[in-house]
Amino acid sequence: MVVLPLLGLGWIAYDRLRIIAEMSSHDQMKTMLDQVALNIESNLNTSQANVELFSSSNLIRNYMLAQEDERYGLLQLPLLKLFSSYHKTYPEYYEIRVLLPDGYEDTRYTEGVSPNATEEEKDTPYFRRLRDINAPSYSTLFWNLDNEEYAFLIAQKLMLVDTGVDDSTEVAPSLKGYLAITLRLDFIKRQVQNSRFGKAGSIFFTNEHGKILFARNDLKLPPALTNVLLSSLRKQINTETIFTLPLEQQSFLFKGSSYTLNCLYLQRCLSKSYLPRAILWDGLLLE
């Protein structure tokens, strides 16, 4: 008769410890989510501000307004040297380009010797979007055909008035081209490798189709999340819901939230000995 009450108390104590452990895990997930999102946002905001600053350069302005002979005979080499100085200060900017309004790649600086898949960007998804938006700048995650890697593209419209020809007080600036910088994603890769929480917590990233882009080396995951899993995750983005779904024949705990960025999803994983294997899923929706 004494055993049953003791078993009951033991079960209550175990259940209480389990609830406390789950609450602690959820708090750790949210904290890491906020930290990672803040780091990504900070990196992208800094790069966006830099591109805007670079685009105001007098050399870039003179280059875009110059006649063809002066542009390519006198100004292109100094412009490439300027781009080289940007790259030395910000090594993650591994490609810096001037694009003309029709999508032609007018000038291109890259670190080292890098192949160039095409000089005509007019039919690429990112350029079609860049051409159609009204905003002065545009950023997106894209697949760089030159090196077959994902990267961030940040582009600034070059809206200029030729004061040598037009009266700038009466003529509105017109589009002369775009300054585009390709940003290596090493800062995300570093977070994937270094961000841990709990006993075995980690993060990984996918694209909007669920393909896993970056994951910790020791994290055994499939090449992509299934459509069923991805659909279930999207339904609970930005809710407080935490639920269990199967992945790779294991039980995972998922939680999700979203951010306005572009075509990148951030996933969180958590594994504890007293919990089912858990993943915190957070969608970085970049548009």
Task: Give the side-chain half-sphere CA count within 13 A for 212.
Answer: 18
Looking at residue 272, its pLDDT comes to 34
Tokens of 173: 């600036």
Closest to 268 in 3D by CA, of 40, 43, 26: 26
Instruction: Answer whether 251's CB lies under 8 Å from 276's CB.
Output: yes
What number is the average pLDDT over the span 181-194? 87
Instruction: Answer whether 24's CB lies under 8 Å from 43's CB.
Output: no
Per-residue pLDDT tens over the stretch 24-80: 556 666 677 677 777 888 888 899 999 999 999 999 999 999 999 999 999 999 999
pLDDT band at 260 (very low <50, low <70, confident <90, very high): very low
Instruction: Answer whether 155's CB lies under 8 Å from 125's CB.
Output: no
Residues 6+ apart with CB under 8 A from 227: 210
Q: Which amino acid is at 34?
A: D
DSSP 3-state percent helix, strand, coil across the chain (nearest 5): 40, 30, 30
Mean pLDDT of the chain: 77
Prediction pTM value: 0.77
Give CA–CA dist 48/33, Å, rounded.
Answer: 22
Instruction: Answer whether 275's CB lies under 8 Å from 22's CB.
Output: yes
Instruction: Answer whether 9's CB lies under 8 Å from 260's CB.
Output: no
Looking at residue 239, its pLDDT comes to 64
Per-residue pLDDT tens over the stretch 60-71: 999 999 999 999
Give CA–CA dist 126/11, Å, rounded.
Answer: 57
pLDDT band at 103 (very low <50, low <70, confident <90, very high): very high
What number is the average pLDDT over the span 242-270? 56
Asked if residue 243 has pLDDT above 70, the reply is no
pLDDT band at 262 (very low <50, low <70, confident <90, very high): very low
pLDDT band at 164 (very low <50, low <70, confident <90, very high): low
| Partners of residue 137 on adjacent β-strands | 156
Looking at residue 52, its pLDDT comes to 95
Instruction: Answer whether 75's CB lies under 8 Å from 85's CB.
Output: no
Looking at residue 235, its pLDDT comes to 72
Domain boundaries, the chain: 56-184, 188-286
Query: In terms of residues, how long is the chain?
Result: 287
The verdict on domain 56-184 having CATH code 3.40.50.300 is no
